[in-house]
Amino acid sequence: MSSAQPNTRTRILQSTLELLEASGGKSVRMSDIARHAGISRQALYLHFTKRSELLIAATHYLDEMKESDQRLLPSREAVSGAERLNVYIEAWGNYIPEIYGVAKALIAMGDNDREANEAWEKRMLDMRQGCLAAISALADDDQLTVEFSIDQATDILWTMLSVRNWEQFTLQCGWSQSEYVKRMQSLASQLFVRK
């Protein structure tokens, strides 16, 4: 099905993602992307008016590729709130490394570019919904610790699971990806699940 000659727009998006992934979030220039995609720098601007637009489109494209919607949907098999929390943390936690490159570039742009900032914030609010759902499931099961309101617990889980924190735990502290997931699950369970 997928063609040997994907259309230019797609090639650009793929190149963008490859370069961002490879360079671990370092600044990738428009000219780099163009060269990698085998087109002129100017041709980029025929498809995307600004760098921010390209980055935003690249994140959407990545979502499509990885079918993130499905992955981040609450698992049907998760029977208890506690189990569901674990499933969510695992799904999201393992998604982070795959989006890290684009994410970092988008965050960096956000400091100067309003649209990039809004795009990233929107994404993060979506992800907050996932946290809220997990915490709510816990509350419905009467398993949520008394210390927190649903909102507070959601805020905390949301922040705990931020890309920045993943970056710090893995890249700075040297945790492996599987350690990261396991420990975040354990942390969340200690904090939020009543014993």
**The residue to which tokens 């780099």 are assigned:** 32
Task: Provide, rounded to whole angstroms, the least separation between the CB of residue 39 and DNA.
Answer: 4
42 forms part of the interface with DNA (CB under 7 A): yes
**The residue to which tokens 């914030």 are assigned:** 121
Task: Provide, rounded to whole angstroms, the least separation between the CB of residue 13 and DNA.
Answer: 12
Nearer to DNA, 21 or 53 (CB): 53
8 forms part of the interface with DNA (CB under 7 A): yes
**How far is it, in rounded angstroms, from Cα 146 to Cα 74?**
24
129 forms part of the interface with a second copy (CB under 8 A): no
Of the candidate residues 15, 16, 52, 154, the single one contacting DNA (CB under 7 A): 52
187 forms part of the interface with a second copy (CB under 8 A): yes
Task: Provide, rounded to whole angstroms, the least separation between the CB of residue 28 and DNA.
Answer: 7
Task: Provide, rounded to whole angstroms, the least separation between the CB of residue 99 and a second copy.
Answer: 17
Which residues lie below 8 Å from residue 188, measured CB to CB, with a gap of 6+?
Answer: 85, 86, 89, 157, 160
Q: Bridge partners of 144?
A: 193
CB atoms inside a 10 Å sphere around CB 18:
15
- Using CB distances below 5 to 8 A depending on partner kind, what does residue 176 bind out of a second copy, DNA, none? none
- Using CB distances below 5 to 8 A depending on partner kind, what does residue 51 bind out of DNA, a second copy, none? DNA
Q: Using alpha carbons, select from 26, 17, 8 the residue that is nearest to residue 63.
A: 17
Stretch that binds DNA, among 47-55, 59-67, 138-146, 180-188 (CB under 7 A): 47-55
Q: Where are the alpha helices (DSSP H) in the chain?
A: 8-22, 30-37, 41-47, 51-66, 68-72, 81-110, 114-140, 150-160, 163-167, 177-192
**The residue to which tokens 């698992």 are assigned:** 75
Stretch that binds DNA, among 39-47, 57-65, 91-99, 153-161 (CB under 7 A): 39-47
Q: What does the binding site for DNA look like in residue numbers (CB under 7 A)?
A: 7-8, 29-31, 38-40, 42-43, 45-47, 49-52
